[in-house]
């Protein structure tokens, strides 16, 4: 459904056995009637209009916390679509992140992609060991506010821990990071009985020493 919403043609997607897409003709009886966009999303909220999204009963907070419309930085591919911050991820989050990148069809990939996927599969197999190394599971690391781990691993330290747990440290930079580049900012301003809320998504590219080189507002709203 999502693929047909963003692809440029009007031919229903049938690339997966047992699954059928939905183009404009499939929305004719809907009230209110949605207009298929046929191009990439500008805001994540647009997926609410796509068929089957409401029926999925997935809470909107789960969509917001797990998905983004923003493309990865130049040089990355769909093979490793995003990086996980080892300094803020929990043990369970690291395990789930790595296991989700396992792919049994590595032999069908190009030679370059196959080499990467072999390491990603190894990371998935060793997910618990890697998570334990990165988080120090069982040790008194403590936490910052809001349940954020208080780790401050450098890239070299984190890479060494991953290599120790799995031997695949050479792919660290295609899976992990030691900082975040995207931030969701919410500000509530209350004056008397009036209240305004500002929501924004910021992109902050970083230098190798984790220093931000700037900040770009990708999306914002004022309510």
Same domain, 119 and 188: no
β-strand partners of 85 = 177
Same domain, 54 and 126: no
Phi first, then psi: what are they for 171, rounded to 5°?
-105, 15
Residue 138's domain comprises: 84-177
pLDDT at residue number 71: 57
Same domain, 63 and 88: no
Instruction: List, as own/partner pairs, every contact residues 198-203 make where C-beta atoms lie below 8 angstroms and the sequence separation is at least 24, other chains included.
Output: 198/222, 199/223, 201/70, 203/70
Residue 125: inside a domain: yes
Residue 127: inside a domain: yes
Same domain, 166 and 192: no
- pLDDT digit string, tens, across residues 155-210: 889 999 999 998 766 788 878 888 877 777 888 888 888 888 888 877 787 776 66
Residue 33: inside a domain: yes
Number of structural domains the chain divides into: 3
**How far is 138 from 131, CA to CA, in rounded Å?**
11
Residue 97: inside a domain: yes
Token duo for residue 4: 């047909």
Same domain, 92 and 106: yes
- pLDDT digit string, tens, across residues 115-126: 888 888 999 999
How many CB atoms lie under 10 A from the CB of residue 177? 20
pLDDT at residue number 127: 92
Same domain, 48 and 131: no
Helices (H), 53-197: 60-66, 91-99, 111-125, 127-135, 155-166
Cα separations in angstroms, 87 against 42, 58, 70, 174, 192: 30, 28, 22, 16, 39
Residue 201: inside a domain: yes
Token duo for residue 150: 């208080």
- pLDDT digit string, tens, across residues 45-90: 888 888 888 778 888 877 777 777 765 454 444 444 567 888 888 8
- Smallest CA-to-CA distance from 207 within 183, 185, 177, 175 is with 177
Residue 8: inside a domain: yes
């Amino acid at each position: 459904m999502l693929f047909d919403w963003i692809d440029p043609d009007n031919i229903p997607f049938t690339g997966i056995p047992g699954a059928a897409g939905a183009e404009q003709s499939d929305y004719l009886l809907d009230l209110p009637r949605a207009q298929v966009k046929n191009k990439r999303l500008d805001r994540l909220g647009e997926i609410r209009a796509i068929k089957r999204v409401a029926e999925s009963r997935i809470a909107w907070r789960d969509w917001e916390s797990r998905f983004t419309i923003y493309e990865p930085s130049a040089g990355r591919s769909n093979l490793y679509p995003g990086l996980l911050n080892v300094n803020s991820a929990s043990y369970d989050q690291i395990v789930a992140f790595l296991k989700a990148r396992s792919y049994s069809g590595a032999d069908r990939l190009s030679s370059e992609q196959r080499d990467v996927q072999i390491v990603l599969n190894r990371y998935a197999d060793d997910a618990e060991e890697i998570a334990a190394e990165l988080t120090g599971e069982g040790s008194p690391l403590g936490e910052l506010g809001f349940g954020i781990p208080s780790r401050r691993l450098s890239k070299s330290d984190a890479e060494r821990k991953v290599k120790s747990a799995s031997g695949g440290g050479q792919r660290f930079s295609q899976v992990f990071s030691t900082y975040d580049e995207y931030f969701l900012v919410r500000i509530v301003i209350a004056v008397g009985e009036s209240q305004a809320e500002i929501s924004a998504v910021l992109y902050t590219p970083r230098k190798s020493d984790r220093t931000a080189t700037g900040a770009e507002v990708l999306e914002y709203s004022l309510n």
